[in-house]
Chain A
Amino acid sequence: MVDRQARHGMDRGQHALDCMAESPERFYLEYQPRLVRFLKTRASNVNWAEDIADEAVIAFLDKWDDLLTYDRPDSWLFAVAMQKLRRVEARARDLCCIDESQASSEREVRKAAETDDWVAEHLDLINAIRALPRRQCEVIGLHFLVDWTLPETARILGIEVGTVKRHLNRGIENLRRNESLAAAYLTGSPM
């Protein structure tokens, strides 16, 4: 018997393959907004989010025929984009040319909000998610926002499911304790 999560994963994989069967443009329309917005909730520099999403999609198009044989071509796209972002940030940290402060993060989100209504509508929540430690931020983004199951999230991040659950629980607790988020929620302002 196939469990619910596995069923969900198979359906999602089939959906991605159906989009690919239709056309590259169809796949792009379906996945690009989610990918770039996921990256915006995590990248220390929002311009990198756009560039990395573009590069990941180009890599996807280059590998198109191979990916048609994958069960989950969509998870390949997110895994590649995630690792590209981590590499770029690791390099920037080595060169000391990255600002990972809260103030800089909030500036970046405001900048992203100027061109993306979705970011503008969820400013407080995006700031709260970005304030989490990186691993918690990634797990919250992939599981709750992009709607990957826990095993899929684990596969994208290359870690064990138990570790994903640990980051998820800690991330939820930290978000619940976030005072700005609580204030925005209680006053009913856009989150």
Chain B
Amino acid sequence: MISEDDLHNVLSSMAGTMGEAPVTELRLKFELLQMKRDARDPREVMRQHDELQATAFEQSAYEYASEVHARGDLHAAAYHYRLAAVNDFADAPLRLAQVLDATAAQYLSRPATQRSKHEELSLVTDAAHWYLVAYVAGDLEADEVASLLDDLLTRHPTCPRQVGGAPSGSSINNPGKPLDDTIDNEPGTGTAEAPACEECPR
């Protein structure tokens, strides 16, 4: 293992020569660059201008998201962090994951409905995705992301929770009854209501 002082010395010697390059070669490169710049057609100029504007837009979205996040508006914060996160601006992927996690947590204190369960699951999935993006980018260490995902999934168990009143006669309470018999098809939605799980009540 290299000592910290040795590492600093090696890095500073590397930095010391970083700006050195043959001047003739650099002058030639600059001439070519000037020619490339002058030869741009209006469309190329516009493309480069738009890309620069997009970067400024990501920065504004990130700054606005931070403001509204501080004011507690999680939906607006998630929307604006996402605009920055898709292009990996600053630490927007991590901020987005945290906001989605906090938004999903709000569902824990609300009465559960079929719709709210879907929304919650979607938020949890999205938060987990962005935590992983932040981990791959290096915003989080492996142990941090593991702990965050573990907490997230513990708070929002994947088994379906009961909707409305406590169900009776489910296969979980009646092990002898086939599971399919306990699923009521919800008219109009084409989806099935899964049996309630006693291990993870609201």
Contacts and interface: CB of A to CB of B under 8 A. Distances in A.
B86 A25 contact: no
Interface string A142-161: 00111100000000011100
Secondary structure at the A interface, as helix, strand, loop or mixed, is helix
Interface string A53-66: 01101110110000
B168 interface: no
B158 to A, nearest CB: 27
A145 B55 contact: no
Interface in A130-184: 132-137, 140, 144-147, 157-159, 163, 167, 170, 172, 175-177, 181-182
A33 B33 contact: no
B33 A29 contact: no
Contact of A172 (B7, B19, B33, B89): B7
B18 A37 contact: yes
A28 B25 CA distance: 12
Interface stretch (A4-12, A102-110, A118-126): A118-126
A176 B2 CA distance: 5
A59 B52 CA distance: 8
B167 to A, nearest CB: 42
A25 B27 contact: yes
A132 B11 CA distance: 15
Given A29-B23, A145-B11, A176 B1 contact: yes
A111 interface: no
A30 interface: yes
Contacts of A157: 90
A100 B86 CA distance: 18
A91 B54 CA distance: 14
B55 A32 contact: no
Nearest to A91: B87
Contact of B18 (A25, A34, A91, A136): A34
Interface in B59-104: 59, 62, 86-91
Contacts of B90: 157-159
Nearest to B93: A90
Interface in B1-31: 1-4, 6-8, 10-12, 14-15, 17-21, 23, 26-27, 29-30
Contact of A177 (B1, B52, B88): B1
A72 to B, nearest CB: 16
A80 B14 contact: no
Given A30-B19, A121-B17, A86 B87 contact: yes
Contacts of A91: 87
Given A61-B37, A185-B10, 12 more contacts: A38-B18, A62-B49, A87-B51, A133-B138, A137-B138, A145-B14, A146-B15, A147-B15, A158-B62, A176-B1, A182-B2, A185-B2
Chain A to chain B: the 9 pairs with minimum beta-carbon distance, closest first: A133-B138, A158-B90, A135-B138, A86-B88, A33-B21, A144-B11, A90-B88, A28-B30, A87-B87
22 contacts: A28-B29, A28-B33, A29-B23, A29-B30, A32-B26, A32-B29, A32-B30, A33-B21, A34-B18, A54-B33, A58-B36, A83-B55, A133-B137, A135-B139, A140-B11, A144-B8, A158-B62, A158-B89, A158-B90, A175-B7, A177-B1, A182-B2
